[in-house]
Structure 1
């Protein structure tokens, strides 16, 4: 079976546990700015927090946890938006020897109950009143949470109050507790979002995190730098955001948190990051917004030429070539008209973007590279403690997710499934029942399909459970088609159907905000309002909108073989904030969608 490995660049055994990352950094550079924290002062909206200040705050909260009666190995739940206090609580829990269990803000009461019960949560920290009320109810119903519910905001049960409980815990006691956990002890239990099955509690160890942090920091020294900074707006409940935070903290890269995604762009101008981690949808929206703005200024054709030029310039740069004189002239012209403004919109200092969480279309990657902001695409899962593979600076190949990162091995099974082994790969799920099918010959089964290109980069081709077999016996992997259609800003999610059917069809789940914008721009009544229907999926019948979507469908059909093309599609609107339909990482729960859309799917074959 094809296999690629990369030797490790760092040894996690040089550290006792995760807390050494902060302890050593605070000892080496206590006065270095580690965080930018929002203030209520319009004149000075951000204030710097040094590494030394951060560690002292972490220590105070950790002492409060110890004073409460928290024992080593006890589980603490954190349910809060992405914010500075999340980082404080995370590290404080580890300083106190606890195991952190992140809970997504969008989680339902049932999901929280399952996590609290399965993980035997003793204490929770929440970030807003609605989350606090949900957790309070779950604690009352389950009898868990004997050490209480604490909040990140001011109040009688705030983190500040909690820290005040620990005044009698001395520094030697805290230091002994900090060093309690060993490398192979659990650091966190992360419950997977479960797009195709029940959520599973993945147990990640201190060795997993340290192996990833140290090796990724070594591999990306050009990106993660002491003089750099980043803005984290991905949920900190996601292992990718937490891993990024630890890498930046250990490397001295300044961090700001922006929980409200509508405030990301305004914050970029103020914070001027050198590096960002995003999901592909963010990049799609940036490109689409630029196109819409150009169209509003009657520069649609000029923008189309600029977009194509950026893609050509990106492809030329990827080959390491200088490009023709004509291309260089066109790029210089469009840089003055469009590209420079886009870079300014993103802060003006952005040198690198890391894209993860979903496959990135190669043309989109080349477009941003042509703008002057290369996109590093990577691939990983909760069970691999985030990145497993990644493109490296100077070795970016669009359309791939790069090679195994240091300390990792990737194998392609005979059926095309991606198998993983390495420093970040977990030992198993909390429930042994979930481990039976999770491993093969010592490798973790990712559930994703892929292949290596001619130079050893991994190319993602789909999901094992998404494979469709039509009534004629054709086996189809719909990933490429779905990803191509989802490049249309109108389409939030594309789901191909056709299992046991004579041909393929698709449900296109639309983005309500984009639909409203499209309707306004085209002078038509906003179609398919949720208030007009009691059905879980509202079918869109507006002919002009369907015609616009047909162009994206045709473009996707042109990229795949005849057997993979779809013949019919139905656009729908639904509640994209529904946690039973959309995972916390913004992926569609295919089974739930198809259950709700049974009648619509049947109509595609009538």
Structure 2
């Protein structure tokens, strides 16, 4: 059994021995102590050991049941795939087929899909027998699917040691603030959230795992902020992980006096670039926000700001389990907890992983990012612009929900915009654009824009599953609209 997994099990056992009645997991209607958590996981692990070989697919909503089966797969040595709740039906089929899953637990909505793929209901599981097993890289504990730049997600195979090293470092990073109530806001199919839950358990905290609808979360980018903010306040959460758009909603609510900072003591944010202006707003209202950076191929978090080691604008220093260096062309390279391989491709043999992100270190070892290497465009004046930088400024103004910036070979930068409030006037959007432009150098400013006819969505393949623009698809779909403003 991998070393980190042994340590994880030992830590959970120690929590159960010392504080056996303390709440480990709280769902919508049930609570489980650390002692009960261990019993539930062991029971399910024994069941899994008796099943035919093959990956286990979990297509369930956030809640104790999903966590118990996920942990059971981990301790029993069975590869697990947690399907993100915002994946489309075709993406779910792809995950199941590519991973060679032979067992599945799912919501009723996915039962027809499983039936079409040859699964039949057997006791607690949906199961199938494959004529030829799918070969996973040796040691694969989890297959996590990245959104990728196309509609087909890529299966990243990770070992238990790699994931649990990251979870351990996350637990250590938050230790100075001692958060005891961790609210899982994102679906567990998102690796960052999955490992955030592991970290909270390592720290002996109570993990609050409520259904996504209860939190106001729908799909990859639909949020009922009133419900989400109420859940944060009522749960008395002390720690959580957010993406920038959710952080913006939380900061705005605190600024407007709709809710206090309350018990929150450690709010990690990642998944996309965070505007420095948004971080400054968070600091101004006393919200303890810590920006980080990671990617699925490196088992999620690589660098993180933390209490006593924080630099606004940076993504923090690399965590102790990894090494990070900058290539000659500015690309960030990582060694440490890297993937075993992609499903369907040769195992990874290189020590250093080329992230595709551009960055640099300051003289105190803090890492700063300049966006994606492949997304950078060059204007007709020869200026290099990373659109993610500009888009982050636009979308964290509180007015614009989605932005796509384009300027390859053009004398001025163009933007396609969709407002947070579909009823927002063009004047309100223009004002938001000008406020964002005021923070940018002239070559990066948006010189002309048009309102999108509707929001970008994963269903139309204009967004990745985790909400990032699919640039080539947007250029093709809205070619006429962009041409109109050139």
Per the shorter chain, which TM-score range?
0.7 to 0.9
- Write out per-residue CA displacement over residues 523-580 of structure 1, whole angstroms, 9 at most, x where no aligned residue: xxxxxxxxxxxxxxxxxxxxxx222212222233233333222321112142555432
Q: Is 1:89 the counterpart of 2:89 in the alignment?
A: no
Instruction: Assess if the C-alpha contact under 8 Å between 1:18 and 1:209 holds in 2.
Output: no
Q: Structure 1 CA distance, aligned partners of 2:79 and 2:26?
A: 26
Q: Which runs of 5+ in 2 are unaligned?
A: 128-136, 217-226
Aligned to 1:574: 454
Secondary structure of the equivalent of 2:333? strand
Instruction: Assess if the C-alpha contact under 8 Å between 2:399 and 2:432 holds in 1.
Output: no
Aligned to 2:98: 118
Aligned to 1:585: 466
Q: Is 1:515 the counterpart of 2:416 in the alignment?
A: no
Aligned to 1:549: 429
Q: Is 1:248 the counterpart of 2:200 in the alignment?
A: yes
CA spacing shift, 1:591–1:84, aligned 2, 3 Å: farther
- Write out per-residue CA displacement over residues 435-483 of structure 1, whole angstroms, 9 at most, x where no aligned residue: 6xxx8x6311111111223422111211112111234443322222111
Aligned equivalent of 2:384, options 475, 482, 496:
475
Aligned to 2:341: 428
Aligned equivalent of 1:56, options 36, 39, 47:
39
Instruction: Assess if the C-alpha contact under 8 Å between 1:36 and 1:256 holds in 2.
Output: yes
Q: Structure 2 CA distance, aligned partners of 1:16 and 1:223?
A: 26
Shift of 1:224: 4.7
Q: Is 1:484 the counterpart of 2:393 in the alignment?
A: yes
- Write out per-residue CA displacement over residues 570-599 of structure 1, whole angstroms, 9 at most, x where no aligned residue: 121425554323333222222222221111
Shift of 1:18: 5.6
Q: Is 1:404 the counterpart of 2:318 in the alignment?
A: yes
Secondary structure of the equivalent of 1:489? coil
Q: Structure 2 CA distance, aligned partners of 1:585 and 1:110?
A: 16
What TM-score does the superposition give when structure 1 sets the normalisation length? 0.71
Shift of 1:241: 0.6
Aligned to 1:493: 402
Instruction: Assess if the C-alpha contact under 8 Å between 2:26 and 2:206 holds in 1.
Output: yes
Q: Is 1:216 the counterpart of 2:170 in the alignment?
A: yes
Q: Structure 2 CA distance, aligned partners of 1:149 and 1:204?
A: 28
Q: Structure 2 CA distance, aligned partners of 1:64 and 1:96?
A: 9
Instruction: Assess if the C-alpha contact under 8 Å between 1:18 and 1:94 holds in 2.
Output: no
Shift of 1:349: 1.4
CA spacing shift, 1:217–1:352, aligned 2, 3 Å: closer
What TM-score does the superposition give when structure 2 sets the normalisation length? 0.87
Aligned equivalent of 1:108, options 81, 84, 88:
88
CA spacing shift, 1:478–1:434, aligned 2, 3 Å: farther
- Write out per-residue CA displacement over residues 112-165 of structure 1, whole angstroms, 9 at most, x where no aligned residue: 222222110101111x322333x32xx52x44x4xx458xxxxxx657x99xxx
Q: Which moved more, 1:78-87 or 1:188-197?
A: 188-197
Instruction: Assess if the C-alpha contact under 8 Å between 2:242 and 2:267 holds in 1.
Output: yes
Q: Which runs of 5+ in 1 are unaligned?
A: 1-11, 40-46, 151-156, 163-182, 295-337, 519-544
Shift of 1:83: 1.7
* Aligned positions, number: 463
Cα RMSD, aligned residues only = 2.7
Q: Structure 1 CA distance, aligned partners of 2:14 and 2:296?
A: 27
Instruction: Assess if the C-alpha contact under 8 Å between 1:507 and 1:572 holds in 2.
Output: yes
Bigger Rg, structure 1 or 2 = 1
Secondary structure of the equivalent of 2:422? helix
Instruction: Assess if the C-alpha contact under 8 Å between 1:188 and 1:203 holds in 2.
Output: yes
Q: Structure 1 CA distance, aligned partners of 2:440 and 2:232?
A: 38
Q: Structure 2 CA distance, aligned partners of 1:76 and 1:562?
A: 52
CA spacing shift, 1:556–1:208, aligned 2, 3 Å: same
Shift of 1:24: 5.1
Shift of 1:289: 4.1
Shift of 1:364: 2.0
CA spacing shift, 1:125–1:573, aligned 2, 3 Å: farther
CA spacing shift, 1:132–1:212, aligned 2, 3 Å: same
1:192-341 correspondence to structure 2 within 5 Å: 192-195=146-149, 198-225=152-179, 228-258=180-210, 259-260=212-213, 261-262=215-216, 263-289=227-253, 338=257
Q: Structure 1 CA distance, aligned partners of 2:365 and 2:373?
A: 21
Instruction: Assess if the C-alpha contact under 8 Å between 2:303 and 2:318 holds in 1.
Output: yes
Q: Which moved more, 1:405-414 or 1:104-113?
A: 104-113
Instruction: Assess if the C-alpha contact under 8 Å between 2:458 and 2:465 holds in 1.
Output: no
